Chain A
Amino acid sequence: MAKFEPVLMANMQKPDSHTIKVYEAGGGYRALKKALKEMTPEQVTDTVKASNLRGRGGAGFPTGLKWTFLPKNHPGPIYMCINADESEPGTFNNRYLMELDPHQVIEGIILSCYATKAVTAYLYIRVEYPLSRKRLQSAIDECYAAGYLGKNILGTQFSLDIFIHVGAAAYICGEETGLIESLEGKRAWPRIKPPFPAIEGVFRKPTVVNNIETAACVTHIIDRGPDWFKSIGVPADPNNPRDPGSYGPKLYCLSGHVNKPGCYEAPLGITCRQLIDEYGEGIWKGRKGKAAIPGGISMGLLTEKEFDTPLDFAGPGKVGCLGLGTAAVVVMDETVNMVDFLYNSCRFFAHESCGQCTPCREGTHWSLTMLERIRAGKGRLRDLDLLLEIGDSIGIIPGTTICGLSDGAAWPIKNAIRKFRSDFEEYIKRTNPTGYMVTEPVPALAGAGHH
């Protein structure tokens, strides 16, 4: 494969890449000027629709289609929410964009708002990203000064304000309706759908929630056209009419046991092994790989044999993972104990479960207490079946919860135990030689579950 020419990261190597001067020098705001002068909002929407751009936040929902769900001829206001609450473990692509090329994002936001006729955009950013916040705010200030934001942008009838809202760093605020609740000043309990945000979102008005990277992609689609965008990535599966394909560049976050972790831009469809070998320069310390998370911890696990899975929107699903997610690849080498991995994962989700739906609130907590007990040398083989039962029953896919957080909690459990069951069984038998066959309830560990 020819070395891919970065698009989203093209500006990032330049000094002061976060300033409007450098951005404009590289062709910045060309797309905005073009769109506002030559295109109607509908044409912008159609262009994005034609590009088959899929949301980069994790679910991969077609962006253009999402925009068309807004009610037609709504008296307004329509709101745009930009989800920069990047809290999926292993994920930091939005941070790169916000810190090193915020104007690319802002331009995409303005274009998205123009297309959706939104008059206000809220940029919901997590509190752990102080530099991102600072750079975004100064970029927004520069845009107001340059006339790209505010009243009558570039002399047109289009006006837009962007506000940054800092969240207090709960994972659930990354769920779009949890984000909306939090933005409204409430407890971030995801809303029941329908109504979807496109009909009733922020302040009960039609709202689009898009990811930072999605916004950045919109900039380039308008600049270079949908055909350019579709020249990158994996085409739609002709046998599956519901597959919109995986087009465009993607920022992959590579971390874990590789020699050179970092954020790399590659066309969608690169395999996990290519990413590790070509970008990450191989597994560290000359070891072999054991497993990798394909796209953030909630997507499940790839075994070493599955490293050739293409990381596009459809690829990880074919090997039993939840999906591409945020394309955050976390690599584990052969020394990693899967019990430790699963404990870490369960601890995260038990801590971050918003506590609204019973199956998720109690299921994540129960799985954590079991994992804690297993690690304390009191595991039973039966615990693995119980964990799998929890994993199979919680989530929006079986329909037992309101939002997808518990699907994310379920997938690591299901994948780890199904794909690495012998590891777990060996660990339990070795650490609890007298009690691993017990099937009756055992006493809980003192202080268990205090995540």
Chain B
Amino acid sequence: MGTVIVDGIEVTVGDNERLNGIQAAERAGIDVPHYCWHPGLSVVASCRMCLVEQGTKDPTTGKITMIPKVVPACQTPAKDGTVFVTNSDKVKQCRAQVEEALLIDHPIDCPICDKAGECRLQDYYFEHGQQERRADLKPFHSPKRDMGDTVTLFVDRCVMCTRCVRFTREITGTSELMVTHRGSHEEIDVFPGYPLANKMSGNVVDLCPVGALGDKDFMYSQRVWFMKSHPGVCTGCSTGCNIDVEENQDRVYRLTPRENMHVNQWWMCDEGRYGYHHVHAEDRVVGPRRFEGGKHVNVEWTTVTAELKQKLTAAGRLGAVLSPHLTVEEAYLLIKFIRGIDPAAVLALGPVPVVGTDERFPNGFTIHAEKAPNRRGIEILLAHFGGKILSFADFQKELDAKTIRAAWVSGGYKKSDWNDETTARKFAGLDLLVVQDMFASPLWNAATYQLPGGSFAERDGSYVNFQDRLQAVKSAVRPPVGAWVEGQLYWRLLERPGLFQSRKALVEAATEVPALHLAIEGIPATGLDLNVNKLAEAKTVAATV
């Protein structure tokens, strides 16, 4: 244990912790401004915004000796007895000078810059800058160029922190970005013919502390201060990257990674980042429909909820397909509903899309081939309720055997190509087929009841990722008019009062399913490792043996 003093505030640093001045100050509740430093990248100490005064406290005499010059906090280790001063006049002057220097060649085109509102150059100018411009006035000039398919560089907005360059060297290992020229003529660039084309390219936009790197997907679409961000989990693959879903008035504008050292650190892949457009797709199905008289006719949700239970009860042996896109809570409620009607109902895991193979980056970040967020969650529930885990193929065999008379198929898939005519024909012999999904498909067209469901941005609940980490999500937007998020429908079918409450459903599920017991206490922001439970169980078993 060591004690570091930041502006007179003592903070404790553990023996095995390696903190720098910025992190130590953060612990004392003090923000040290910085551009180039990022906890996930190497230290270059080049922006010089984090300059502080530093000294040491003599452990025996208690006398503090300061060194005469300023030091970059990012590069200075916070060891026992280290003293940082971040609020002296000298430090303030250094910050003002760096801020002034950075603004000499900056176009100051905030009104047309996407970064405005979350830009460090802006924030630090207000906080640490000097109010008058002293450098010569320059005509407005802001050249831009393409870095690749996803990112545009606004050359003059750059502050040369080289975070993006280090990201492509250290995290993705692809090294597309580089610094060209020298001195104040320096620019970020790519080598001709080798654009920024890695699968994590979007991260450089988040890393950019200013508006130099613009995300083409987000560009000019929304001012950041209009958006609200909601903690979520990416459903693009089984990694379960923690994200913020940023929306304004029920429209999602971008997804950004949220720090979680257990899962995705600070990053997310482009596939996940740009894979939200289906939420607002034109062809998303809305309004429930019932098949009668040779065609599907619109019905009211109240009619659906009123007659479904009765129709399912009348059908006899039931089967339910639980999509890996459902949250744990939703899957649990569906099981409760189906098993409430037919205690011997067949339960199966929905199709799990797999594309290619897992892609691992040099720093360990992995894009999984399994393109669904909650296979493990469904499996945990199936193992508890079904005994054995039936796959979608197994379920089709059950259909062939004609044991099932009515089936409930849940969806939530991004694309409608998870089933085809052949699959749909297998369901043809049923008395009743209920299909919930976002997009029409052959199976959808064969359904007795077509129930438009929710997308990931609309769900409340939790997912279990590939490493058995249970992570909570909050709905960011409301579903389109006419669509009901699965949880809401099940809640109503189970005749629970009011709106769907994922917390209640989770407590219920956790009480009933031993593998989820830990979640009774709630899910922390960084998720809950369900394997901890297993380890504990294994230990108990070992102890009793």
Measured CB to CB, the residues of A under 8 A from B are 170, 187, 189, 192, 350-359, 361-366, 369-370, 373, 386, 393, 396-402, 441-445, 448-449, 451
Q: Is the CB of A356 within 8 A of B44?
A: yes
Q: Is the CB of B94 within 8 A of A361?
A: no
Kindly state whether residue B47 has any CB partner on chain A within 8 Å: yes
Contact flags (1/0) for B58-82 with A, using CB distance below 8 Å?
Answer: 0000000000011110010000000
Kindly state whether residue B6 has any CB partner on chain A within 8 Å: no
Separation in Å of the B544 CB from the closest CB of chain A? Answer: 51
Task: Report the nearest B residue to A363, measured CB to CB.
Answer: B101
**Prevailing SS type, chain A contact patch:** loop
Q: Given the known A-B contacts A444-B137, A444-B138, are A399 and B51 also in contact in the complex, defined by CB atoms under 8 Å?
A: yes
Chain B residues within an 8 Å CB radius of A355: 160, 179, 181-186
- Report how far A173 CA is from B185 CA in the complex, Å: 18
Task: Report the nearest A residue to B182, measured CB to CB.
Answer: A355
Measured CB to CB, the residues of B under 8 A from A are 43-49, 51, 69-72, 75, 93-94, 97-98, 101-102, 104-105, 133-138, 159-160, 179, 181-186
Task: Report the nearest A residue to B178, measured CB to CB.
Answer: A187
6 A-B pairs within 8 Å (CB atoms) are namely A354-B182, A355-B182, A358-B48, A358-B98, A359-B98, A402-B45
Across the interface, B46 reaches (CB within 8 A) one of A398, A402, A448, A449, namely A402
Chain B residues within an 8 Å CB radius of A369: 135-136
Chain B residues within an 8 Å CB radius of A441: 133-137
Task: Report the nearest B residue to A397, measured CB to CB.
Answer: B69
Separation in Å of the A410 CB from the closest CB of chain B? Answer: 13
Across the interface, B184 reaches (CB within 8 A) one of A189, A353, A398, A399, namely A353
Q: Given the known A-B contacts A358-B49, A399-B70, are A350 and B184 also in contact in the complex, defined by CB atoms under 8 Å?
A: yes
Chain B residues within an 8 Å CB radius of A449: 184
Q: Is the CB of B71 within 8 A of A399?
A: yes
Q: Given the known A-B contacts A353-B184, A362-B184, A399-B51, are A442 and B136 also in contact in the complex, defined by CB atoms under 8 Å?
A: yes
New contact pairs (12) apart from A355-B183, A365-B184, CB-CB < 8 Å = A350-B184, A354-B182, A356-B46, A358-B47, A358-B98, A361-B184, A365-B105, A393-B97, A397-B69, A441-B133, A444-B135, A444-B136
Among B46, B102, B105, B183, find the residue whose CB has the most chain A CB atoms closer than 10 A.
Answer: B183
Separation in Å of the A175 CB from the closest CB of chain B? Answer: 14
Q: Given the known A-B contacts A350-B184, A357-B46, A444-B138, are A399 and B69 also in contact in the complex, defined by CB atoms under 8 Å?
A: yes
Chain A residues within an 8 Å CB radius of B71: 399
- Report how far A359 CA is from B160 CA in the complex, Å: 12
Q: Is the CB of A398 within 8 A of B69?
A: yes
Separation in Å of the B25 CB from the closest CB of chain A? Answer: 17
Task: Report the nearest B residue to A362, measured CB to CB.
Answer: B101
Among B69, B72, B97, B184, find the residue whose CB has the most chain A CB atoms closer than 10 A.
Answer: B184
- Report how far A442 CA is from B134 CA in the complex, Å: 9
Across the interface, A359 reaches (CB within 8 A) one of B48, B105, B135, namely B48
Chain A residues within an 8 Å CB radius of B43: 192
Q: Is the CB of A448 within 8 A of B136?
A: yes
- Report how far A355 CA is from B186 CA in the complex, Å: 7
Q: Is the CB of A443 within 8 A of B137?
A: yes
Chain A residues within an 8 Å CB radius of B184: 350, 353, 355, 361-362, 364-365, 449
Q: Is the CB of A350 within 8 A of B138?
A: no
Separation in Å of the B209 CB from the closest CB of chain A? Answer: 12
Chain A residues within an 8 Å CB radius of B97: 359, 393, 400
Q: Given the known A-B contacts A359-B97, A393-B97, are A400 and B51 also in contact in the complex, defined by CB atoms under 8 Å?
A: yes
- Report how far A399 CA is from B179 CA in the complex, Å: 24
Separation in Å of the A181 CB from the closest CB of chain B? Answer: 12
Chain B residues within an 8 Å CB radius of A352: 182-183
